A and B are shown apart, each in its own frame.
Chain A
């Protein structure tokens, strides 16, 4: 079989500064690339290949993965180049960051996860790992030419797209009591290897007398940039699961989550599904009561 070749010139910098310098030099004619799986789907759709691709694959620092305590909290540091498949390989991630494992398992298919990176998933701004990372309040490391700056992922997503070089994802460990529910659901167009229609993640906790004292929700899906559902979170805080609350929460998610529809699923469907899933999880919380 004849393989198609890229028309782009490929640059293989070995450190962050060199990568940054190339990007500054080549500007709009270039892109950073890691696993390349998302780019491939775009090119397949007819998007032009840029003249220059700056591959991050040889930058060793981006392959680091470790746990680190900071201010009494434990953090997972995932280098941007860590392959999605590798995220699933570490038992420690499964044990302490189960939502991340759950999320990564739903991304594409095994062959794609062997190539695709966690950094790329986040850099796409629509990756399926993002809702899970948002409810864990992950930060990302961004290299700005001089330093690596830590930025809240939520904050970064809400900014206009900047020309950032993501170096790592930093995920706090949430030591939640068993009375908490953690959930992550990706509703695709089929069971696996499908783009997301709705992706929703959450952590909701209640104290001993059944009052909700911890609520984080995030939703995305399709071309929709995932975001926290803060109005709904506020609505939940300090309340008990009861019929009146369920109704209000359903309405709140429906009005707060504003995804775009496409030829396959309308915006309203996505909003309803997101609301339904949150209700289903609240009912689980009630069961735990």
Chain B
């Protein structure tokens, strides 16, 4: 990897993350690797149809199969038969209706996985198939079958400013286009699973990955009709999530079966089961009409978003709010009208996914800017610059936000990219064309206005003499432990060996909210800033009391408290001498949201600009991304490799989204059932050169520190690739994944005669 002098140098620093060695050597045990004595294995029976009434369910034959210990149906749900992060509209076990092919109808616990599987075949379910609602636009019509009591529109969101209709009248140039975005799968390495252990004291321990242990506990308590305190959720580490495991998945079935049988129960979904039942990124159809004056000033922007949210709500409403909020991105446009609909269909379930609606709407928005630039005869960078927000401008929905110059910073940085001015090479046949493209984005962090978004943490000196730092966040590969370690070492002044980090266990950690919405790094930093002075003061006072050296002469350092360059008292000794009076500092606060009353409106934003160079093979339509650069403005870098990993990994995930990935559904049933047809990028599809620049400077009055970078790297890649394809071929891509077939067909129309001419 190349770094130019003076930029991005910090990204070269190397330190080993706390969980690094165990992970790369394969020694780390994930929760799905756990085993307990007398453990049973569970399997879940999913619906045969995308939409049907259940006439009857008979479990007798399955129950009689030797080795089967329990079969559960909706009758066995002890409490609320429903789950969902916003409202619980998804049945744990369907009673009379199924709305997608992943709907659970029954579940079995047996002595082996094979017996459980065989028992599923013996459960007799009689269905009455219903018409499949597979097109969100059709679903919005009153004539469509209604999937839920309140109709097929899950959520509606809008934003308006000025008067677009009038403004379009005075535009010199208008671009109108409809963009279609695919259903992407998270494709985490570890599929959903865990072990559920009924304890002797009547409590239940849940070992299952999630992004928010406390939220799982809350949802499970409702389902099991148990006090929350009687459920312990152990939830880290996970083999990836990307938003896909924030919602409950297999936990209700494992928990119900464990309580019913009295034995530990393990569930671990196969990839096919995961594809069928798991949530996906929202497919969206986005229509945009954008108008500008001759000088490039954009004055009107009209947007209509239709999101296919599938069968149940989960975070569908919030994803739509996010898309509506980000529909104008970092551009200051006086007349805006955005309306969005999140619509129920029988197409799986769409929910949380890295980027959270921003990826879809940014693809459309940046596509509009590029089309306008071409129509106006202006450079795409210049057009962006002309309309870009300044540091103290309001946010995209007119709301007050923390001052930020990120948009200007990333655009300036990417404008200097060498690849934008690199020479265009053509092969001798003229069949391979090269093009470059740029896109930028801004992305809100945290859950936003009007949503409970608590954070917090705890620092203590534990009995073993370790400085124990506890958070309710989860480690799913993003490098949370390294972030906590780095922030803590710098803030407190101890060494990494002095620390003991505790996460992922509701019996041990404070509430910090969900590990989602790029909030982890930000919340860890803010929590530690709040706790460091009280902790340090208290630690030094205790050291002073134990040693009779005045606090003013003491310093916190490696292994303990130091006096005049000598270790005066170790943390271990200090803990021993103050064991009756444990030192514990806790903090609770909320993720900052805009004070303006806009549902989900954000306050803290990060920014990214992406430049790519592609080669398009005209004979096959194959698009190869040869080089990719990103400039990211998200505040100070905490853990350099983690930062790089997030942006590089995010770029690759977005490359897949752009070129190959689509969880294809036909008539409510998945066509892509596994990784042989759902294709994520391999190392051969990834450009050998990915250059990342971190812009660390924040505005002077910005006191919020580093932002998380879990999502920002995924957003600007697709529109940059689309622009590069246009640059290479003159073909505008308005649908992802990019259709090679369309490229070949269009090129045949325009280049055929030249092509079929001999020299």
Contact = CB atoms under 8 A, between A and B. Distances in A.
A44 interface: yes
B741 interface: yes
Contacts, number: 90
Interface string A191-216: 11111001000000000000000000
A30 B272 CA distance: 26
B423 interface: no
A179 interface: no
Contacts of A41: 676
Given A187-B622, A190-B682, A266-B741, A246 B113 contact: no
B741 A286 contact: no
Interface string B617-657: 01111101000000000000000000000000000000000
Contact of B674 (A45, A269, A283): A45
A2 B111 CA distance: 14
B744 A2 contact: no
A246 B756 contact: yes
B616 to A, nearest CB: 13
B756 A250 contact: yes
B682 A286 contact: no
Contact of B619 (A189, A247, A268, A276): A276
Given A192-B685, A194-B679, A280 B741 contact: no
Interface in A3-45: 41, 44-45
A269 B664 contact: no
Given A2-B113, A242-B758, A276 B744 contact: yes
Interface residues of B, number: 37
Interface string B666-680: 100001011011010
Contacts of A272: 744-745, 748
Contacts of A263: 664, 666, 671
B744 A243 contact: no
Given A190-B682, A273-B744, A44 B674 contact: yes
Nearest to A278: B619
Contacts of B673: 45
Contacts of A2: 113
B200 interface: no
A1 interface: yes
B660 A189 contact: yes
Interface in B109-135: 113
A160 interface: no
A287 interface: yes
A242 B759 CA distance: 8
A241 interface: yes
A273 B617 CA distance: 11
Contacts of A264: 664, 677
Contacts of A198: 620
Interface in B662-709: 664, 666, 671, 673-674, 676-677, 679, 681-685
A284 interface: yes
A148 interface: no
A284 to B, nearest CB: 7
Of A44, A266, A284, most buried by chain B (CB within 10 Å of CB) is A44
Contacts of B589: none
Interface string B21-64: 00000000000010000000000000000000000000000000
Interface string A275-289: 011011001101100
A1 B33 contact: yes
B429 interface: yes
Nearest to A1: B33
Interface string B505-541: 0000000000000000000000000000000000000
A61 B745 CA distance: 50
Contact of A265 (B682, B741, B758): B741
Contacts of B748: 272
B428 interface: yes
B755 interface: yes
A2 to B, nearest CB: 7
B207 to A, nearest CB: 16
Interface string B712-740: 00000000000000000000000000001
A280 B429 CA distance: 7
Contacts of A195: 676
Interface in A250-273: 250, 263-266, 268-269, 272-273
A2 B268 CA distance: 11
Given A44-B674, A263-B664, A273-B744, A243 B757 contact: yes
Contacts of A242: 758
B431 interface: yes
A284 B429 contact: yes
B428 A191 contact: no
Given A250-B756, A273-B744, A276-B744, A190 B619 contact: no
Contacts of A247: 756
A273 B679 contact: no
Nearest to A245: B758
B113 A190 contact: no
Contacts of B755: 246, 276, 279
A187 B620 contact: yes
Nearest to A277: B619
A286 B684 contact: no
Nearest to B683: A192
B681 A190 contact: yes
A48 to B, nearest CB: 12
Contacts of B685: 190-192
A269 B429 contact: no
Contacts of A265: 740-741
Interface in B373-425: none
Interface of A: 1-2, 41, 44-46, 109, 187, 189-195, 198, 241-243, 245-247, 250, 263-266, 268-269, 272-273, 276-277, 279-280, 283-284, 286-287
7 contacts: A45-B676, A192-B683, A192-B684, A195-B676, A243-B758, A273-B619, A284-B429
Interface of B: 33, 113, 272, 428-429, 431, 618-622, 624, 659-660, 664, 666, 671, 673-674, 676-677, 679, 681-685, 740-741, 744-745, 748, 755-759
Given A2-B113, A264-B664, A265-B740, 17 more contacts: A187-B622, A189-B679, A190-B679, A191-B682, A191-B685, A192-B685, A194-B679, A246-B755, A264-B677, A268-B741, A269-B740, A269-B741, A277-B619, A280-B429, A280-B431, A284-B429, A286-B758
